[in-house]
Amino acid sequence: MKKKIVRIFSVVAICSMLSSCEVLSGVAEQVSGLANLANCEYSFKNVSGLTIGGVNVKNLTNGKVTAQDVVKLSSALLSKKVPMTMDVNINVKNPTENNAALTAMDWILDIDGSQFADGVNTKSYTISKKSTTTVPLNVNTDLYSKFSSSGIESLKNFIGSFSSDGTSSKVGLRIKPSLSVGGVSVPAPNYITLQTKTGNRNPQPR
């Protein structure tokens, strides 16, 4: 009987600290969502809205940069600003029997195997059980420091390396999903490298 009373008071104390048992229930649900998020599978879908220095890369024919594109790129280099913007669309597959929650996703952009830029997407998503949700990551960076010394030919070759799905052998993306539990952000332990051709995932420590 004494043990029961101690348990009851322990529960009451916890509920009081968290304002109500509903809050405790909410935290428990978030912890469950975190566990389900760990079981999700991440794969590359495609890239949309890819522009570099004012050039719409998707409009290029067989990866060839036109004379008009060269003018735009040359002007961008002269102005010391070569913006690259794109939406990298990622499929998040939840194979479990319960919903998973995603509250943020950090990303790292690699060019020629080296980290070039990073950012974070803070939009929340619920990945329903036995379903796949597409999460778009807006990547926005400036390539000037990468091509300022190598010049227009190097920049043209870089743009020409992109295929019709917006991928390039020169560009890689790593992601780290996270979930807020009790107001505290809990990220995945490692970054996940998106394999744009195979759709497999490969954890890469950082």
**Residue 5: band (very low, low, confident or very high) from pLDDT cuts 50, 70, 90:** very low
For the chain, what is the domain count? 1
What is the three-state SS of 164-191? CCCCECCEEEEEEEEEEECCEEEECCCE
Q: What does the pLDDT read at residue 27? A: 47
Neighbours of 60 (CB within 10 A): 17
SS (H, E, C) 110-142: EECCEEEEEEEECCCEEECCCEEEEEEEEEEEE
User: Using CA atoms, how far apart are residues 39 and 130, in angstroms rounded to an integer?
Assistant: 11
Q: Tell me the CATH number at 155.
A: 2.60.40.10
Residue type, 51: T
Mean pLDDT of 176-185: 78
Q: What number is the average pLDDT over the span 128-154?
A: 94
CA 28 – CA 111 distance, rounded (Å):
40
What is the spatial distance between Cα 100 and Cα 2, in angstroms, rounded to a whole number? 39
Q: Reply yes or no on whether the pLDDT at 129 is more than 60.
A: yes
Residue 116 has pLDDT above 60, yes or no: yes
Task: Please give the model's pTM, rounded to 2 decimal places.
Answer: 0.74
Domain span including residue 80: 2-204
Alpha-carbon distance values, 13 to 6, 18, 25, 40 (Å): 10, 9, 15, 35
The whole-number pLDDT of residue 7 equals: 37
> Tokens 């995945």 map to which residue?
188
Task: Tell me the pLDDT tens digit for each residue of 33-84.
Answer: 556 677 889 998 888 999 999 999 988 867 788 899 999 999 999 999 999 9
The CA distance from 146 to 132, in Å, is 36
